[in-house]
Copies of this chain bind each other. A is one copy, B any other.
Amino acid sequence: MSDSQKPYILAVDGGGSGCRVAIADCDGNRLGGAIGDAANVASNLDSACVNVAAAINAALKDAHLDHHATPNICAHFGLAGYMDEKQGQILRKKFKFHKLSLTDDRPTTVLGSLGGQDGYVIGIGTGTFCGASNAGQMHFVSGRGFYISDQASGAWLGRRSLEIVVQCDDKILVHSPLTQSLLAQFNNINAMVKFSVTATPRDYARFAPDIIRAASNDDQHGRALMNEGAAYLRSALTTLGYQSGERLVLTGGVGPSYLEYLGKPFNTNITKPLGDALDGGLAMAHKLVLQSNEACA
């Protein structure tokens, strides 16, 4: 980093549907940002790199900085699907910052949501993760993807609800307004089966709002699904060491909808998120500045 310039900090929050970039000075004042396309590095590392690079360029422009600023930037990427240093090596080759740290998007979400305080975070959108932060140490449960993890997620709710529709169609279970309306969104059960053959987690997650709404209208299958999801979340929080009265943040598009199903003692200290994954990413980038022992106002 050149001595003449103060460092900048940059954060990338990448997920399966898009990515976001924020740039700040090292006091944390936001200078610019941008949004870009999907950046899940497990699904497609190459296109994630392309999309992240495009969003970073747009953010630099938005902050009135140019490429020459890059050696003065400490950056943190929190990317869904980030699992190992093998991915890290590829990313580090492509992105030449003064310093670059990498995690998946769970630590950045926990840090941002809790604002650095101790507590627990349930982050649920298309996927699910549960995290605990204790004196700077983080632990996680779930978040391993739709196929063998992520119970209670939007995608999980969607797939499970169609499973129930099939069982209603088979007369093993009795239809409710929810299952009838889900079936009505297809021509018939065969069309639903055809949909399932190629449906992605995002495709399934589109049914989550229907399920959440039906559950709050006391639909039996909707309530059963939310209760099943909540049971998983309770066991995850208990595994992470949650004790009655501790701070818990519910975040993501689906997370807050579990509030009324979590029950005691988990609902005793629900806290609004203090920030998001970009805030967390900027905080991690700021740590890199401090580690560099660079002068920072």
Contact = CB atoms under 8 A, between A and B. Distances in A.
A286 interface: no
B83 A172 contact: no
Contacts of A236: 170, 172
Contacts of A170: 141-142, 236, 239
A148 interface: yes
Interface residues of A, number: 31
A254 B256 CA distance: 41
Given A141-B170, A170-B141, A197-B42, A148 B192 contact: yes
A199 interface: yes
Interface string A116-149: 0000000000000000000000000110110111
A189 interface: yes
A43 interface: yes
A295 interface: no
A194 interface: yes
B147 A190 contact: no
Contacts of A159: 147-148
A83 B162 CA distance: 18
Contacts of A145: 193, 196-197
